[in-house]
Amino acid sequence: MKKLLALLLTLAMVLSFAACGAGNKEDAETTAADDTAETVEAAPVEAPENPVIRLATTTSVNDSGLLPYLLPTFEAETGYKVEVASAGTGAAIGYAKSGDADLLLVHSKKQEEAFIEEGYASTERLSFMYNYFVIVGPADDPAGIKDLETAADCFKAIADKQAPFASRGDESGTNNKEISIWESAEIDPAGESWYSSLGSGMGDTLTKANEMNAYTLTDKATYLSMKDSLSNLAMLKSEADDMKNTYSMLGVNPEAEAFADAEVTINTEGAQALIDWMLSDEAAELIAEYGVEEYGEQLFFLIEE
Q: What is the DSSP string of 71-93?
A: HHHHHHHH--EEEEEEE-HHHHH
Whole-structure pTM over 0.85, yes or no? no
Beta strands of the chain (E only): which ranges?
Answer: 52-58, 81-87, 103-106, 126-138, 165-167, 195-197, 216-219, 233-238, 244-251, 301-302
Q: Based on the domain organization, do 61 and 207 belong to the same domain?
A: no
d(CA 185, CA 152): 5
pLDDT tens for 75-96 read 999 999 999 999 989 999 999 9
pLDDT tens for 109-131 read 999 999 999 999 999 999 999 99
The number of folded domains in the chain is 2
Q: Is 220 part of any domain? A: yes
Q: Is 87 part of any domain? A: yes
Q: What is the pLDDT of residue 195?
A: 98
Q: Is 296 part of any domain? A: yes
Q: What is the pLDDT of residue 19?
A: 43
Q: Is 7 part of any domain? A: no
- Residue 63 pLDDT grade (very low, low, confident, very high; cuts 50, 70, 90): confident
Q: Based on the domain organization, do 205 and 122 belong to the same domain?
A: no
Q: Based on the domain organization, do 150 and 229 belong to the same domain?
A: yes
Q: Is 265 part of any domain? A: yes
Domain end among 224, 243, 262: 243
Nearest to 219 by CA among 257, 186, 176: 176
Q: Is 37 part of any domain? A: no
List the domain range (segments joined by +) for residue 61.
Answer: 52-130+245-302
Q: Based on the domain organization, do 234 and 145 belong to the same domain?
A: yes
CATH of the domain at 200: 3.40.190.10
Q: Based on the domain organization, do 230 and 277 belong to the same domain?
A: no
Q: Is 5 part of any domain? A: no
pLDDT, averaged across the chain: 87
Is the pLDDT at 8 greater than 50, yes or no?
A: no
